[in-house]
Structures are given as structure tokens and as C-alpha cells.
Structure 1
Amino acid sequence: MEFEGNYFALEKKGTENKMDLCCDPNGELQSEVAQHPQSMRHVANLIIALQRMKNSHTAIGTEFSDHELLNILMDNVVEEHSMRRVNEGTESRVTTYISTSQEKYDVCDQFQKSWVLVKEARELQAMTLQGGSMHHKVQLNLCTYVAPGSNNSQGRPVALGIGTDLYLSCSMSSDKAILQLEEVKDKDALKTISAQGDMVRFLFLKRDSGLSMTTFESARVPGWFISTAKEDKKPVEMCSAGDSNRITYFKVNNVSDH
């Protein structure tokens, strides 16, 4: 790479960027970027390269060897590549939920209907219980999770277990979220859950209101909540936010010490 008079051009292959360099009558090195640069980063790299050229102690006058110019440009290419790798690593960071504690809770909706397990159908139903039938209501094994770096502004992540091996899960089927009771034999699989993994279907965001009422939003399908019907002895199901025909607020009481 040699000068032709006091003028030469640098062009980065594979792009439309081109920088013309020339010397003014005072011997100062000047530049002009021709056409349209593809990004501000390319412009910044050219400016850095120009500054290094101006501050070079090994060059004589305005002359640079091919090796010197190649080193200057490659330094910036490596720097840009490294910055991109760092940014990509930050963007691809995946949230991981880690279980911290487990407690038992009673749960009923705002009309005092309790959750009852119908074993034959393996489903939950909301029923009004009285007197001697109160023992039919389920107790939730509520396992709390934390996600490092998360402030839980959308709710506290929890898994909802019933009995020994059954856990509530939520997944999409067509255009509707489906609430299911799944058997989980391997409890270790629930200790650490990736937000991008399939096990996130077992997580719900528990959000408490000022009226001692709680909602459970699916972590897998945001905008869908555990709900009950207004009628008695109907299945506990998922509903979308704002569905006026379903009840999404529940009263939960800690019974771990009882």
C-alpha cells in the first residue's frame, strides 16, 4: 500500500465504507468518509485508526508501510469482534430459578370455595365445603424460588404441589392455556429451573394484593392465571387476564405450623 502524491484511500472489504486520507499544505493528516457507512461503530473504528496513524512514532512524515497500516486496522477489527462477543453473551443470558423453601397452604377463592382433588379425573375442582367435609380440601405444597438478578416485580416464582408427587403445570394448547396435574417423581428436576426450559411450565408468579388476596400467573404463558368458575363444583382452570367470568383472586393461609 503506497501513497500516490499526498492522497490515498482506505476501504474495508465487504462494506460500503471508504475513507480518503490526504495531507493539507501544513502536513496535517485529514480524512473524508465517502458513501454511507453501515454503522456508527465502523465510523468509530476509522476514527481510531486515523488517530493511531497521526500519533505513530515509527512513521516518517506521512508514509506508512503496508505492515503498519494492516496492524492498525486489524487491531480495531479484533476490538470490535470482542465487543460483539461480550454483548452477545449478555443478551443470551438465561434466567434460572432456584428453589429456596417449601411451606403448606390452604387455598380458597374469594367466594370461599376450596380446592378439592378429584382423584379419578386427576383434576382440581372448586367446591363449597362445610362441617365434616372440610378435610377434602387440598393443602398446597408451595415451593418458593429466587432468580439471581431479578427483582420479582412481576411476582414471586412458586411451584404448587399437591400430596407427594402431583404438581400443577401450565402449557399452551392451540390458543388456550391448559392447567394440568402432573406426576413428578424426580424432585431434583424442580430444584433448578431454566426460564427457557420445559420445566418452567411448573412455575407460577405469586402476586399478593393489599386485600390479602393472591393471584397465580403462569410463568410459561404470561397473561394467563389460575382461576375458578363462579359456579360450585367446577374445574380449576387457566383464564386470560380480564376474563370477567372467572375468579382469579385467592386467599392463601400458611398452615405449615399447624
Structure 2
Amino acid sequence: MMYCDIDEPDCPDLAMICKCDMNTDIKLEVSPHPHSMRRVVNIIIAVERLKHIKEMSSGKFCEAALLNFFLENVIEERLVKPLNVTAVYCKSRTLQCTICDKYKKTLVQSNTRTNEDLHLKAVTLNAGSTQYKVKFSMSTYTSTASQNRGQPVCLGISKSNLYLACSESDGPSPALLLKEVNGPLDIIQAGDPNGYDSLLFFRKETGTAYSTFESVKFPGWFITTSFDDWKRVEMHTVPNDQTIDFTLEDQI
């Protein structure tokens, strides 16, 4: 015969004492230590379920029944969260190319003879003005982080130390800048103290012809161009009236 006694504690530090015996073959005893109300309820539920186990052999629990009971009622499942691992990006290869948006406007550099800060503009060039196209050295990277957002790349201007960077600005949104970099960028780590992680973009192919460039440091912000000529290339979220679709041309 099975019995379960729940005694009122004589001490406020004693949460519950519970003993269960079944033909002296099994005994469940809870030590007199403080427990939360949740644990007390779990103990009571386990004891009640123990009363209804039918798999008996000569008045004793068979091993399989006892094992199943503990697996279903005693062993608690714990959710283990993975440690936050800092993403590391390693350069794999570099190709040379020019970039046009889907309206066939080419990316060109602002006039260095003016007082404007260095930036890119999108312009429709005629056949005799191809020398103004900005040639990019696009480096691809492998990463320890998930790459379901695209292929990590850096977009540097060929034969210079200038790179496109999505960086914090004085306004509420990040800005697309031309950042001067001295030294190799073979390895870039998320949270880099020099801000080199701002140079990384996820290139994702859309359809058969277009690619998008999403900032790694500022998820959801894309390199965009306006429909009109001579407008500055900027960072925007989508949807908006800018285009985020580009083609890579003159690849070597």
C-alpha cells in the first residue's frame, strides 16, 4: 500500500517533508531543505503519478517502468543557450569591377577639386565618359557567423586606400562614407576598435542579375541610389523610393 504524508513544517526554513513507500520496495524522500512553491508542486505531481504506475512484477516495480517514470517526471529539461561568439571575417579573394544600379547609372566619385567631402554619386554616363566610372576592388570574406544574409564583402576603390563604410553619423541614421584605411584587411572582427567592421557589407544576389549590399554593422540598412542623376549614394532601409539593386560589370 502506498501512502504520502505532508507535514506542516515546525520551522520556517523547512518547506516540506514527503515520504512515499510501496511495499517497502521504493521510497521517495524529500530532504528538509527550503524549496520554492514550484518545486513543492512538482513533488506532489510526481508522487501522484507514482501511485498510478501499473507495471508491477510480483508486487515490485519492473526496471523499465521505473526508468520511464523518472525520464517522464523527474528529469528536468534545461535549455542551454549558446555563448555569444564574436564573428570573425577572413578575406578569401578579390575581384575588380564597376557597379551600376538597375537604372544603368554608374557609381562615380565626387569632384576632388571642390570643398565637398568625398562621396559617391550615381550618374548616367554616355559612351565617351566611361573613364569616370569608379573601379572597385571587391574583397569577399568567409565568416564564423551565419551567412544567411549574404556573402560578406568589402568595397574598396581600386588603386587607393578608400573603402565604402556604413558608419554612425550626427543624425539618427548611419551614413555611407569613404573611409581611408592604411594596412591590410585580411581579418576583420565584429566590434573592431578601429571601426573596420563598418567596411563590411552582405552582398546578396536577387534574381539573376542584381545584387544588394546590406551593412553588417547596421542590419537592415542598404546601399541605395536615387532615380535621378547626380544624387548621392546613401544608406537607407527598405521599402523606400531608392533602389537597392545593383549589377557588377567589367569583372576581372
TM-score (norm 1): 0.67
Alpha carbons of structure 1 residues 101 and 246: separation in structure 2 relative to 1, 3 Å: same
Does 2:247 match 1:251?
A: yes
1:110 is matched with 102
Aligned to 2:155: 160
Counterpart CA distance in 2 for 1:114 and 1:126 is: 5
Tell me the residue number matched to 2:214: 217
Structure-1 residue corresponding to 2:141: 145
* Identity %, equivalent residues: 30
Residue 37 of structure 2 corresponds to 36
Contact map agreement 2:95 2:137 (CA 8 A) in 1: yes
Corresponding residue for 2:125?
129
Q: Structure 1 220/31 Cα, relative in aligned 2: closer, same or farther at 3 Å?
A: same
Counterpart of 1:36, as a letter, is: M
Alignment partners' CA distance in 1, 2:248 and 2:85: 34
The letter for the 2-side match of 1:106 is T
| Other-structure match for 2:183 | 186
Aligned counterpart for 1:101 among listed residues 93, 97, 102: 93
Question: Could you say which residue in structure 2 is the equivalent of 1:196?
Answer: 191
Mark the CA change 1:247 to 1:35 in structure 2 (over 3 Å): closer, same or farther: closer
Alignment of 1:19-58 (within 5 A): 20=17, 22=19, 24=21, 26-27=23-24, 28-32=26-30, 35-37=36-38
In the aligned structure 2, how far is the partner of 1:146 from the partner of 1:254? Answer: 24
Q: Distance in 2 between matches of 1:213 and 1:234?
A: 20
**Matches of 2:218 and 2:89 in 1, distance apart?**
16
Question: 1:92 Cα deviation (Å)?
Answer: 1.9
Segments of 5+ residues of structure 2 without an aligned counterpart are 8-12, 44-77
Q: Residue 255 of structure 1: SS of its match in structure 2?
A: coil
Q: How does 1:66-77 map to 2 (within 5 A)?
A: none
Paired residues of 2:88 and 2:145 also in contact (CA < 8 A)? no
Distance apart, 1:111 and its partner CA: 1.4
Q: CA deviation at 1:19?
A: 5.8
What 5-or-longer segments of structure 1 have no aligned partner?
1-6, 10-15, 44-82
Amino acid corresponding to residue 140 of structure 1 in structure 2: F
Are the equivalent residues in 2 in contact too, given 1:21–1:29 (CA < 8 A)?
A: no
Given candidates 156, 172, 175, the residue that maps to 2:172 is 175
Cα distance in 2 between the residues matched to 1:172 and 1:231:
26
Q: Letter of the 2:94 partner, please give it.
A: Q
In structure 2, distance between residues paired with 1:133 and 1:254? 15
TM-score by length of 2: 0.68
Question: Whose helix proportion is higher, 1 or 2?
Answer: 1
Q: Secondary structure at the match of 1:133?
A: helix
